[in-house]
Structure 1
Amino acid sequence: MSTEDLAEALRRALRDAGAPGADAPVEMLPDAGLAHSHLRLSGSGLLARLPKQSQMDLSAKDNIAYEAACFERAAASGHTPHLHGVLSPSALLPRGALLVEEIVGRPARLPGDLPSVATAPAAIHALPVPSPAERAPLLDPSDPLTLLREEIGRQAEHLDGAGLSTGTRKAVERTRAAFAECCERTDRPPRRLITFDAHPGNFVIRAGDGVAILVDLEKARYSYPPLDLAHATLYTSTTWDLASSAVLEIDDVLAFYRDWLANTADDAAWRGWLVPLRAAMWLWSVTWCAKWRAQSGLASRAGVDGEDWSGERSDPELIAHVRDRVDDFLSPSGVERVTDELDRLTDLGL
């Protein structure tokens, strides 16, 4: 749809549903993400999040329900926007929409905002974990490490076509082998609600009180918090978004982990897991880059269900930025930067 058609479809869907903000002027926000379009319902304090695809490879109906559950589960943390409404998929909005609180503030500035950023996942991780029967529809695998290994493996099928140098490919495979050994351990850390998408570009520092709010929730699962910590501080995350881009020093990363540990009641439970899960999150990210490189040039899929990384779904400037980041992250220097950091953190006893 054109911008005008999308705005008009949202207006009509809001009115048909009697939803909040139905009479508000609709303003299209700049295209800043591969998975959603965002429209402001001016004067209402609400944003409409319209999926472009499902990163979970779900049907349109299941995807909007999953995203709504992510916001609902994290709300008690005080560090996420409130969910105010759900528009189910329809002829007007084939993928549906969420109506969420608009957070007024500024992008995170690193490393200065890292202490504030650390409080948001810590608050989410501190939430009580529901009984197994109450965790659906969010992912709740019997072994989160096995699921993560399988996800990395599926994405790694695209490594052969990613044009990696021999040294870079060997570094990735060495890290995969180490993670495979980690998965064979019989012990596991505590399971918590995690966002699985805690890169700095997803945080807004709220005006007035400076609280860090994690505004993008669509991939939450019951798994291990160090995956979120890694996603917040890895090079592949901190340089992803232009508005918050920064290269962290090792001392910045160590301080971030200390801030998070200071806000958790069971810090001893994470000993021996922080670096292995950091490496695992990097593997997930770098293999996703290979997958995106392979699929972004394809034509957009017909229909509204499932995953679709076609560059046709996003603004050309956004796609050019993502391509630049992917090229950097898959480059010998980009891979070496992360693997060297992992080695240093191991030596420092993190």
Structure 2
Amino acid sequence: MVDFTPSPLFSTERLSRLHRALDDINNDVVHLTALPDTGLAHDHVWISRETCPDWVARLPKQSQMQLDPETNLDYQAACFRRAAQSGHTPDLHGILPISADFPRGGLLVSAIEGRSAQLPDDLPAIGEALAHLHEITVPPVDERLPLASPCSPWTAMRDEVLEQAGYLDNAPVSDSARRRIDTELSLFDDDHELAKRVDSQRCLISFDAHPGNFLITSEGKAVLVDLEKCRYGHPGLDLAHASLYTSTTWDPASHAVLDTATVVDFYRHWWASRYTTDDVMDVEALVATRRAMWLWSTTWCAKWLSLHHQERDSLAQGEDWSAALSEDRLIAHVEDRARHYLSASVIERVGDDNHRLAHELALT
């Protein structure tokens, strides 16, 4: 269930300031508990309420999408509002205004009583949650803002990956690992037919669907609790993020190494939750987006290793990967994972896993 071990970075004085700020929004708050520091983008505080269900305050440390504080709050609020239609995300209840005490503001969302995902047992529940998210009706183009909905999601993904790949030159990457990454980056060489097929399958996606972002309720329902980066794109990016080695071994609470058969079953379960037996799975697009999501994650590791030693942004604007924003324990864990994922053995492993998955899915 919920871990109430408080974060030492969240002082009693800061909790008191938050309590005062919440009094202006809701007078039902009776107790605040800072939750463990488990992510690089937010602090979390459990809000115990006297007569109503509890909330959680999501207080940004930074914007992973390089947005200013006000735009970042608007974006995240839109993520929660739209994803709520899936029935597998927390509801949004309010916005904590930007202030001197909380220069990036915050969101107030439903508190979810649940445990960490245990793999592979909870993969079907995660697949169903994602299927419900992906089934949400895509609004007309002029109603999609503020969420990102590029003309070509495939091209936008390529541009993000290639921008992050620029950090590989200064990252701890062996020559053999770099050669394999460069080979994998050829995925984005001009292929208009693939881009057209990926772009034609647009839906609301999380873009951060790794298993550590799910809680499993007592009824076995998977709830996606982190909705900072939703956008309109290909659902294969979410399926990849939920089942890649670089995702399933990221969070210690949900750590697992999945074999190919388990991942194939996960894709098939998601497919059966969304489509009829007459529909044909576009295996090439699913595998291409899986490779793209892995490349995004791997190049992000190079970016983080290059930037986390920087001083924190004193103006609290936009993106900020400074280690000063998180506990030493968390930073040590992220550094360990980033270096591991950039190792030649892992890069070769994931590439081979994706090749086997493509073969097995093609047999469905």
Shorter-normalised TM range = over 0.9
1:55 aligned partner: 64
2:12 paired with 1:4:
yes
Three-state SS of the structure 1 residue aligned to 2:30 is: coil
2:57 and 2:228 mapped to 1: Cα distance? 14
Taking a change above 3 Å as real, the CA distance of residues 62 and 120 of structure 1, as seen in their structure-2 partners, is same
1:278 aligned partner: 290
Taking a change above 3 Å as real, the CA distance of residues 3 and 184 of structure 1, as seen in their structure-2 partners, is farther
Deviation readout 1:205-260 (Å, 9 max, x if unpaired): 012x1100001100000000000000000000000000000000001100000000
1:206 to 207, 217, 221: 217
2:238 paired with 1:232:
no
Q: CA RMSD in A?
A: 1.5
Q: Tell me, which stretches of 5 or more residues in structure 1 are unaligned?
A: none
2:36 paired with 1:25:
no
2:124 paired with 1:112:
no
Taking a change above 3 Å as real, the CA distance of residues 147 and 183 of structure 1, as seen in their structure-2 partners, is farther
1:320 and 1:183 mapped to 2: Cα distance? 41
Deviation readout 1:82-122 (Å, 9 max, x if unpaired): 11111121222111111111110111100111111100110
State the TM-score, normalized to the length of structure 1: 0.96
2:153 to 100, 119, 144: 144
State the TM-score, normalized to the length of structure 2: 0.92
1:330 aligned partner: 342
1:184 and 1:150 mapped to 2: Cα distance? 18
1:122 and 1:286 mapped to 2: Cα distance? 25
2:100 paired with 1:94:
no
Q: 1:306 corresponds to which letter in structure 2?
A: G
1:180 to 189, 192, 199: 189
1:162 and 1:183 mapped to 2: Cα distance? 32
Three-state SS of the structure 1 residue aligned to 2:189 is: helix
2:88 paired with 1:69:
no
Taking a change above 3 Å as real, the CA distance of residues 121 and 303 of structure 1, as seen in their structure-2 partners, is same
1:183 and 1:161 mapped to 2: Cα distance? 32
Q: Is the 8 A contact 1:20 1:85 kept in 2?
A: no
1:124 aligned partner: 133
Using the TM superposition, give the Cα deviation of residue 275 of structure 1 relative to its aligned residue in structure 2, in angstroms: 0.7
2:269 to 245, 251, 259: 259
2:51 paired with 1:40:
no
1:102 and 1:155 mapped to 2: Cα distance? 34
1:164 aligned partner: 173
Q: Is the 8 A contact 1:300 1:313 kept in 2?
A: yes
Taking a change above 3 Å as real, the CA distance of residues 19 and 316 of structure 1, as seen in their structure-2 partners, is same
1:61 and 1:225 mapped to 2: Cα distance? 28
2:107 and 2:113 mapped to 1: Cα distance? 18
1:193 to 183, 204, 213: 204
Q: Is the 8 A contact 1:145 1:183 kept in 2?
A: no
Three-state SS of the structure 2 residue aligned to 1:137 is: coil
Taking a change above 3 Å as real, the CA distance of residues 186 and 37 of structure 1, as seen in their structure-2 partners, is closer
The percentage of aligned residue pairs carrying the same residue is 49
1:317 aligned partner: 329
Deviation readout 1:254-292 (Å, 9 max, x if unpaired): 000000000113753633211111000000000000000
Q: Is the 8 A contact 1:182 1:276 kept in 2?
A: no
2:256 aligned partner: 246
2:355 to 335, 343, 350: 343
Q: Is the 8 A contact 1:146 1:183 kept in 2?
A: no
Q: Is the 8 A contact 1:64 1:88 kept in 2?
A: no
Q: Is the 8 A contact 2:206 2:227 kept in 1?
A: yes
1:222 and 1:238 mapped to 2: Cα distance? 23
Q: 1:65 corresponds to which letter in structure 2?
A: D
Using the TM superposition, give the Cα deviation of residue 300 of structure 1 relative to its aligned residue in structure 2, in angstroms: 0.9
1:295 and 1:8 mapped to 2: Cα distance? 32
Q: Is the 8 A contact 2:149 2:232 kept in 1?
A: yes
2:234 and 2:192 mapped to 1: Cα distance? 13
Q: Is the 8 A contact 2:283 2:361 kept in 1?
A: no
1:57 and 1:286 mapped to 2: Cα distance? 19
Deviation readout 1:293-312 (Å, 9 max, x if unpaired): 00111111121110001111
Taking a change above 3 Å as real, the CA distance of residues 213 and 349 of structure 1, as seen in their structure-2 partners, is closer
Three-state SS of the structure 1 residue aligned to 2:109 is: strand
